[in-house]
């Protein structure tokens, strides 16, 4: 870790510093009514982080016998320990996905609060269309999506991160939503990365999760 990144950790306030430690990610739990023994610890050979597995456990419990939970089922009290690592996003129209909640650990980890901003940014790149199609598929054929993306520091070093991504059904406003946890894939004592916000997050894996309705066919080219 370079000196600049070390300085990031040194300047953190006392309340945020513990959230950036690996031990915090390993301990956090969704507040559930039942056990999570039925929730897989790995999907397609990729071991889930504790945060990702806890979010998936909450989602399965919240949806009950439905295809997915609705916005009214998103109980922040049940998710309170996961909230620092959560993105909660809303499709304002078929092209615009706006971040409505961006957790405090994510703000600290990236150096920017993305609340109110488009997931796809102001400038689209070559992969934007497939990124949108991949996320829209979560509601077309209700399923989950596990992505591994590289986040880069300002020296160009890559840090693979897990994006556990699950659909939330629209309520009276008709807007579909997506909930996601974002945490590092690799164990590190503390996240103190000087993130480069001008770099596209390279996609390593995109694995659709069958939640009872199958997954998009490989012919669509959305998995990886």
Domain locations along the chain:
3-220
Tokens 């982080």 identify what position? 49
pLDDT (average), residues 113-123: 86
pLDDT (average), residues 134-159: 96
Q: Which of 151, 161, 150 is nearest to 186 (CA)?
A: 161
123 has a pLDDT exceeding 70: no
Alpha-carbon gap, residue 168 to 97, rounded angstroms: 13
Domain 3-220 adopts which CATH fold? Beta-Lactamase (3.30.450)
Three-class SS state of 150: strand
pTM, 2 dp: 0.93
Q: What residues contact residue 132 under an 8 Å CB cut-off, 6+ apart?
A: 95, 97, 120
| pLDDT at position 198 | 87
pLDDT band at 10 (very low <50, low <70, confident <90, very high): low
To the nearest whole number, what is the mean pLDDT of the chain?
92
5 has a pLDDT exceeding 90: no
pLDDT (average), residues 110-132: 86
pLDDT band at 172 (very low <50, low <70, confident <90, very high): confident
Alpha-carbon gap, residue 210 to 42, rounded angstroms: 13
| pLDDT at position 15 | 87
| pLDDT at position 8 | 61
pLDDT band at 148 (very low <50, low <70, confident <90, very high): very high
| pLDDT at position 200 | 87
Q: Which of 153, 210, 151, 158 is nearest to 182 (CA)?
A: 151
Tokens 């950036």 identify what position? 20
Q: What residues contact residue 209 under an 8 Å CB cut-off, 6+ apart?
A: 43, 56, 143, 144, 145, 146, 215
pLDDT (average), residues 19-28: 95
224 has a pLDDT exceeding 60: yes
Who has greater pLDDT, 12 or 204? Answer: 204
223 has a pLDDT exceeding 50: yes
146 has a pLDDT exceeding 70: yes
Q: What residues contact residue 174 under an 8 Å CB cut-off, 6+ apart?
A: none
57 has a pLDDT exceeding 90: yes
Residue 29 DSSP one-character state: -
| pLDDT at position 152 | 96
6 has a pLDDT exceeding 60: no
| pLDDT at position 1 | 46
Q: What residues contact residue 118 under an 8 Å CB cut-off, 6+ apart?
A: 96, 97, 98, 99
pLDDT digits (tens, 9 = 90+) for 34-46: 999 999 999 999 9
9 has a pLDDT exceeding 70: no
Alpha-carbon gap, residue 184 to 29, rounded angstroms: 17
Phi, psi torsion values for 149, nearest 5 degrees: -125, 145
């Amino acid at each position: 870790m370079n000196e600049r990144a070390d300085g990031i950790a040194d300047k953190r306030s006392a309340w945020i510093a513990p959230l950036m430690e690996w031990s915090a990610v390993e301990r956090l739990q969704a507040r559930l009514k039942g056990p999570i023994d039925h929730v897989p610890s790995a999907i397609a050979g990729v071991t889930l982080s504790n945060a990702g597995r806890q979010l998936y456990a909450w989602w399965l419990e919240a949806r009950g016998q439905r295809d997915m939970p609705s916005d009214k089922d998103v109980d922040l009290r049940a998710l309170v320990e996961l909230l620092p690592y959560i993105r909660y996003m809303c499709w304002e129209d078929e092209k615009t996905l706006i971040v409505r909640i961006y957790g405090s650990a994510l703000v600290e980890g990236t150096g920017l609060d993305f609340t109110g901003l488009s997931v796809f940014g102001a400038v689209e790149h070559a992969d934007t269309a497939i990124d949108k199609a991949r996320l829209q598929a979560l509601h077309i054929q209700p399923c989950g999506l596990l992505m591994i993306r590289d986040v880069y520091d300002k020296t160009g070093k890559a840090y693979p991160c897990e994006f556990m991504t699950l659909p939330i059904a629209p309520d009276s406003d008709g807007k579909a939503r997506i909930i996601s946890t974002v945490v590092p894939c690799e164990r590190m004592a503390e996240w103190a990365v000087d993130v480069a916000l001008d770099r596209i997050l390279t996609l390593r894996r995109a694995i659709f999760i069958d939640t009872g309705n199958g997954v998009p066919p490989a012919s669509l080219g959305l998995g990886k």
